[in-house]
Amino acid sequence: MSQKGHKRRLRTSHKVLVVMSALVLGGGGVVFASQGAFAGQDGSAPVTATIDCPDVGDKLNNVPDQARGEVDKNLAQLDTQVANAYAQLSSGRAKGDALLSGLKQQRSGTISAIGNALGKAGARQQGLEGLSGCKMTKTAAAGPKDNPAAQQGAAAQGGGAQQAKGGPAKSDFVSIGSVKPNVNKPAARGGASKGSFSVNCGRNENGHFNPDNVIVAPGVSNGAHHMHDYVGNLTTDAFSTNNSLAASGTTCTNGDQSTYYWPVLRVQDGRAERDAKAPGGGQDLNVGTILKPKQVTIEFKGSPVSKVEAMPRFMRIITGDAKALTNGNGNANASWSCTGFENRQLKDKYPVCPKGSDVVRTFNFQSCWDGKNIDSANHRTHVDFAKKDGTCKPGFKAIPQLVQRIVYSVQPGQRIAVDSFPEQLHKPATDHGDFINVMSDGLMRRAVGCINDGRACR
């Protein structure tokens, strides 16, 4: 397997809605845990605090194969430490200074273990020690009046159902009709590959769910801390290997054994889903009814400026950033829209669709490859997006671009939320998609031939 390595407003408030715990930070500042929120007299969004830690995995640039297992295990441990700290924060069980101090101590030990593993492999990386400290960041979050549907659902079940905690906020939603068209496509040139190759893998009718992420946290149960929907490969979980994926059955009608997965979308209706008490579900503050997609479209497209080359078997690609709330939107690649309005795409808002229109999530994957590696230390640098004119940067070559389109029927008044790491507060910008290419070499050649010849193969 060829690879270089593996990764991994506060307005002055006059009215207190709910206060469960005040967290006194250094310098005398006060913020409030996820249920402790302020709202202005003008009805402005409540404000909460979340935990913001440097993303160690994103900073790694070289993880040799012999260090991969130890590094992956410890990167997943960092995520677990933040999730546990946020659970203490959201429940009011910990004070601000003590919480951050304890978290820093935990992270310091884990980061040292990562550094030691890299050092033994002759690839020690400078600067990791400075990534242990975290901070609390203010952000808009859900107030108790933001989601009456969830409250009604819980009341209907005798108050026993879990309610959403920590988001999303009312400010995370926008009417799609108020969004201006913003989709621009580069004009095709001579030599463009104008064809397409579509794969029918169903809508997860077989109920393949788990909170694992075999790309980022292989061998770690609940490595994602949120639930994933899967189509394609039937056996994908945290413990999958190239060999097990190649030996697996598939939901795809053409025999494509690739694995396609993304965070589930839920309606925050106060109802107890089957994972209400499970890791990745209620234990990680992902609650409500999981929506089954109305339609899933998987399509590979060409380049507007050149022919495409086959992608290697077992290539891993991640699009978007599951930690975009705290990392910033640099790697965020969410595309939210509504049927009939798909020339208007939202990156950091959920769409409110008019009656008769469905919610659409679109994942546009990277379409340029370095020609050598099936993965990289941070799971990003071996692939890239094409430039605005459609060309790849020097040293990269065009490959078939995976485009996933997932449609959901959402009823008027229903509040949706994408599953996320707990401290990411279900923000829409954290949406992301994952793909492992397990097509046979012959099937990949067929796909490339269709795309380069300008045919639409289904």
pLDDT over 50 (residue 385)? yes
Residues 371-378, mean pLDDT to the nearest whole number: 96
pLDDT over 70 (residue 405)? yes
Return the pLDDT at 139. Answer: 86
Q: What span, in angstroms and rounded, lies between the C-alpha atoms of 280 and 229?
A: 12
Q: CB–CB of 347/329 below 8 Å? A: yes
Model confidence over 304-317: pLDDT tens digits? 999 999 999 999 99
Q: What is the residue-averaged pLDDT of the chain?
A: 87
Select from 11, 65, 9, 78 the least CA-distant residue to 41. 11
SS3 call for 173: strand
pLDDT over 60 (residue 281)? yes
pLDDT over 80 (residue 18)? no
- Whole-model pTM: value is 0.87
Question: Which residue would you say has higher pLDDT here, 30 or 263?
Answer: 263
pLDDT over 70 (residue 178)? yes
By DSSP bridging, strand 196-199 and strand 209-210 are: unpaired
Return the pLDDT at 295. Answer: 98
Give the domain ranges of the chain: 15-140, 148-457
Model confidence over 183-229: pLDDT tens digits? 988 888 889 999 999 999 999 999 999 999 999 999 999 999 999 99
Q: CB–CB of 402/302 below 8 Å? A: no
327's enclosing H/E stretch is: helix 324-327
Best mean pLDDT range from 33-37, 157-161, 304-308 = 304-308
Q: CB–CB of 47/9 below 8 Å? A: yes
Q: How far is CA 170 from the centre of its chain?
A: 20
Residues 325-336, mean pLDDT to the nearest whole number: 96
Select from 94, 171, 172 the least CA-distant residue to 134. 94
SS3 call for 196: strand
Residue that is written with structure tokens 């089954």 in the block: 292
First to last CA, the chain: 30
Q: CB–CB of 428/342 below 8 Å? A: no
Model confidence over 126-147: pLDDT tens digits? 999 999 999 999 887 665 455 5
Return the pLDDT at 146. Answer: 56
Residue 24 pairs with which residues in a beta bridge? 30
Residues whose CB is less than 8 angstroms from the CB of residue 150 and which lie 6 or more positions away in sequence, other chains included: 163, 164, 268, 269, 270, 288, 415
Residues 21-34, mean pLDDT to the nearest whole number: 29
pLDDT over 90 (residue 452)? yes
